[in-house]
Chains A and B, each alone.
Chain A
Amino acid sequence: MFAYWATNLLYTNNHLLFMVTYDNFILNNGLRFYILHDPTTPMAAVNILYDVGARDENPNRTGFAHLFEHLMFGGSVNIPKYDEPLQRAGGENNAFTNSDITNYYLTLPKDNLETAFWLESDRMLNLAFSEKSLEVQRQVVTEEFRQNYLNQPYGDVWLLLKPLAYKVHPYQWNTIGKEISHIEQAHLQDVKDFYKRFYNPNNAIVVVAGDLKTSEVERLAKKWFGPIEAGENYERKLPEEPKQTQARRMEVKRDVPQTAIYKAYHMCGRTDKHFYASDLISDLLGSGQSSRLFKTLVRQKQLFSEINAFVTGDIDPGLLIVTGKINEKVTISEAEGALETEIEKMRHKAPTANELRKVKNRVISANSFGSLSALNKAMNLAYYAHIAMPQLINTITQEYEKIRPEHVLQNATEVLNPANCSTLIYESQKSDL
């Protein structure tokens, strides 16, 4: 459905009062459940994470995990329409697919929690595969491809940047797929095989959040999900991306108002202990108006009109990306030179304690604001449980607190090495319309 980008990374407070409390259990078929207690809301949130993403796709059938997410709304074996009964229960739902996971979530008044279990368990049990549903969703996804990637200014940036940065690992393609033809070629048999391989209770995590009793959730879980048979365990064997040793560069011309520059640096995966240092580096560089790049390149030197830095946060080794739009009348080489100078400074001098404090404070408060929503907490807990660290729901900010200025320097020296960088120059070339 609608793509989701986790902007609301959250935080929990150090006070005991604000600790998130949760229980968990596993059904005999391997389905893992977490119950997150939030007495402040009349709603219940249910998040189901399936351990399958675009990285699990056949290189000649890309975009499949996401197309499949659409098909999960096309009716299941006993329930012709997923949305109708949910809406009748006052519920709302959505889903997103990324390179690593496919995540389904809903909220509804907590008294109707059983409706959610009924619906979700039926589509975990079996789908009502139909040619019509596949045909329509192929078209819908084709329109999504056009709308978000082809018919928008800068829409194809990711289609260019990922294959530049990744030569071997499946992160080289985007969740939407390499090209429209891959989606057009999806057959019903592919769909069935994919379902059988990945949509099993032993390949999923369910988080339920709200003012709920664990015993009641457990009763409903056993009733609706208990009878679903486990599938075969999937063994993931993905090729490792070899270390990049030479700078890469790609230049394209497009009909856009401003030239944009993208620099993608390889970094560690989400579960690596260095992840937090790299994440803070991206914040120091380009998050907010007090960041280094904004201060020097936007405010002082006025070379860029906007500038950003962020990490992709993928489970396998991901990317730290720096991106900016260059002001009119500024040459690419001038802008890029100044940008590289700032990035290089990060590799040679550790940030001050004060500067590091600032970015940590931002992480802490973003986490705190995000924790106001039960659904956000449920999504985060599901993801942390997926990477085998559910306790992060309460300790994530402590992980950031551990990072010291010398860690940042050490990590920056390695990650921000020019030889580790893929640069995309997206040059403005105005057509005469």
Chain B
Amino acid sequence: MRIQNPDRKTAPEIISSDSLKLSEPTAIKLSNNMPLYLFPSPIHEASRLDIVLEAGSIWQHKKLTASTTIKMLREGTSRFSGGEISSKIDYYGAFLDLQTTKDTAWISLYAMRKNLYRLLPMIKSMLTEASFRNRDFNLLNSRQKQSFLVNSQKPKQQARNHFNQLLFGANTPYGQIAESADFDKLKRDDLVKFYHEKICPEQAYAILAGPIDEELKSLIDEFVGFEWRAKGVKNMFKMNATFKPGYHRILRKNSLQSAIVLGKTLMLRSHPDYIPFLLLNTVLGGYFGSRLMANIREDKGYTYGINSQVVPMRHATVFMISTETGSTVTQNAILEIKHELKQLREIPIPEEELQLVKNYLNGSYLRALDGVYNQAERFRSVRDQGLGMQFYLNSIQRIQQTTSEELLNLAQKYLDPESMVTVVVGDEKQKH
């Protein structure tokens, strides 16, 4: 017996969900005045603890200092050797992540709640008595250098580095890019100095997600909330970024593909144009069905992938379009990118497409804010700019209210390729 087919030509009705429940995390003040933000979830056993420090690379006087300092924390302290730290982390099935961005640095610890009391003493030791032994430093530095050299051979990495330098200036806090020789110039003393000046509770904060109880709060106060260092050293931040639009070609001999990056700096996250621009960016290159993907991958087949993104930092926002295309079609791809930018500046986005992108973004926010661990991650990315979870609720609302006319104006204001820097790394003479 054949079962009858349903009407397959008509899409099921879309139900727009407003099931996003979001509130600001409770903040408690640790004994050293550091705020601890809580994202409780009694149904889970896993804990995620972030300690966010005012120790990004913008504060370093020598390249690589910030990232190496934070990575050295797990290489040994006066109480635990690097080997002991790794053994403990692995034995208790924990994951320790030490990261630096331009603005901040953080220590993330993922562990079962029941094992935290065994791991936190080690975190305390890392914050207060990292030993920076020469042997450990030389080993880490040489490993980092090797992995840097491998990365620098990737065309996409080369293009991004040049792009970043051109946007902000090679020797500015945001524009600095390490080179191979910088690893040789870096000295142990640079790290020790940075550690004492920047790894301190002042301006730092912590985020805890997972099961939360009174005992855990006092554990964290004991091991993170004590006065572990007197005040750090405050530096003045100088942005001084003045980029010139233009086209830059870097030869990568015999390269089968060209890595293309094109973009500019934009308004800060707090600017009224920022949220509507996110919507515009999504239309252009922010999702699988975007105009850049539809044209350059799905129609022309020039690339495996192309996207545009908005990268917000504390003192600047970067907008960039990036892709890797076959060498022979490099210029065609650039022309098509410009064509898509022109369309956005000249023709209002059709209502149907706009509604689709709004719905898609609505789903994206639901996904990105699903569960306390994701929420903690999202909180960290806005807290730095003095914003909270309300930023996301505002974004969802603002996106739904944005009209095609507004987006047309925004495109005219921000999306002129003449105002952008283009970097192409490749060898356009290379035949396939």
Closest-CB distance, B15 to chain A (whole angstroms): 4
The 7 A-B residue pairs whose C-beta atoms are closest, nearest first, are A90-B363, A139-B301, A365-B93, A289-B86, A257-B149, A361-B93, A111-B15
- Answer yes or no: A172 CB below 8 A from chain B CBs: no
Beta-carbon nearest neighbor of A302 in chain B: B139
Residues facing A in B29-63 (CB within 8 A) are 43-46
Closest-CB distance, B6 to chain A (whole angstroms): 5
Beta-carbon nearest neighbor of A89 in chain B: B14
Inter-chain contact B146/A327, CB cutoff 8 Å: yes
User: Which B residues are CB-close (under 8 A) to A91?
Assistant: 360, 363
Interface stretch (choices A39-47, A187-195, A242-250): A39-47
Give the docked Cα–Cα distance between A427 and B14 (Å): 56
User: Which A residues are CB-close (under 8 A) to B117?
Assistant: none
Give the docked Cα–Cα distance between A93 and B363 (Å): 12
Residues facing B in A133-166 (CB within 8 A) are 135-144, 146-148, 150-154
- Answer yes or no: A22 CB below 8 A from chain B CBs: no
Inter-chain contact A365/B86, CB cutoff 8 Å: no
User: Which B residues are CB-close (under 8 A) to A348?
Assistant: none
Inter-chain contact A87/B356, CB cutoff 8 Å: yes
Q: List 9 A-B contacts (CB under 8 A).
A: A90-B17, A90-B363, A90-B364, A110-B17, A147-B257, A152-B154, A224-B6, A327-B146, A368-B93
Known: A226-B3, A365-B111, A372-B44. 16 other contacts (CB 8 A): A15-B45, A42-B17, A42-B370, A77-B8, A88-B355, A88-B359, A109-B17, A109-B363, A141-B304, A143-B324, A147-B304, A151-B255, A302-B139, A305-B143, A328-B146, A365-B93
Q: Flag A224-261 by CB within 8 Å of B: 1 or 0 each.
A: 10110000000000000000000000000000111000
Inter-chain contact B87/A365, CB cutoff 8 Å: no
Q: Flag B280-297 by CB within 8 Å of A: 1 or 0 each.
A: 000000011100000001
Q: Given A109-B366, A143-B324, are A153 and B11 also a contact pair (CB < 8 Å)?
A: no
Inter-chain contact B256/A146, CB cutoff 8 Å: yes
Q: Flag B338-366 by CB within 8 Å of A: 1 or 0 each.
A: 00000000000000000111011011101
Within 8 Å by CB of A146, from B83, B89, B326, B370, lies B326
Give the docked Cα–Cα distance between A79 and B325 (Å): 29
Give the docked Cα–Cα distance between A139 and B300 (Å): 8
Inter-chain contact B301/A227, CB cutoff 8 Å: no
Name B's A-contacting residues (CB within 8 A). Answer: 2-6, 8-9, 11-12, 14-17, 19-20, 43-46, 74, 82-83, 86-87, 89-95, 110-112, 139, 142-143, 146-147, 149-150, 153-155, 253, 255-257, 287-289, 297-305, 324-326, 355-357, 359-360, 362-364, 366-367, 370-371, 373
Name A's B-contacting residues (CB within 8 A). Answer: 2, 13, 15, 17-18, 28, 40-43, 77-79, 81, 83-85, 87-93, 107-112, 114-115, 117-118, 121-122, 125, 135-144, 146-148, 150-154, 222-224, 226-227, 256-258, 288-291, 294-295, 298-299, 302, 305-306, 325, 327-328, 357-359, 361-362, 364-366, 368-369, 372, 433
Give the docked Cα–Cα distance between A78 and B9 (Å): 5
Inter-chain contact A92/B257, CB cutoff 8 Å: no
User: Which B residues are CB-close (under 8 A) to A366?
Assistant: 93
Give the docked Cα–Cα distance between A175 and B141 (Å): 36
User: Which B residues are CB-close (under 8 A) to A222?
Assistant: 3
Give the docked Cα–Cα distance between A286 and B114 (Å): 27
Beta-carbon nearest neighbor of B44 in chain A: A372
Beta-carbon nearest neighbor of B303 in chain A: A143
User: Which A residues are CB-close (under 8 A) to B154?
Assistant: 152-153
User: Which A residues are CB-close (under 8 A) to B355?
Assistant: 88
User: Which B residues are CB-close (under 8 A) to A143?
Assistant: 257, 301-304, 324-326
User: Which A residues are CB-close (under 8 A) to B373?
Assistant: 372
User: Which B residues are CB-close (under 8 A) to A362?
Assistant: 90, 93
Give the docked Cα–Cα distance between A380 and B154 (Å): 33
Closest-CB distance, B315 to chain A (whole angstroms): 31
Closest-CB distance, A262 to chain B (whole angstroms): 15
Closest-CB distance, B22 to chain A (whole angstroms): 11
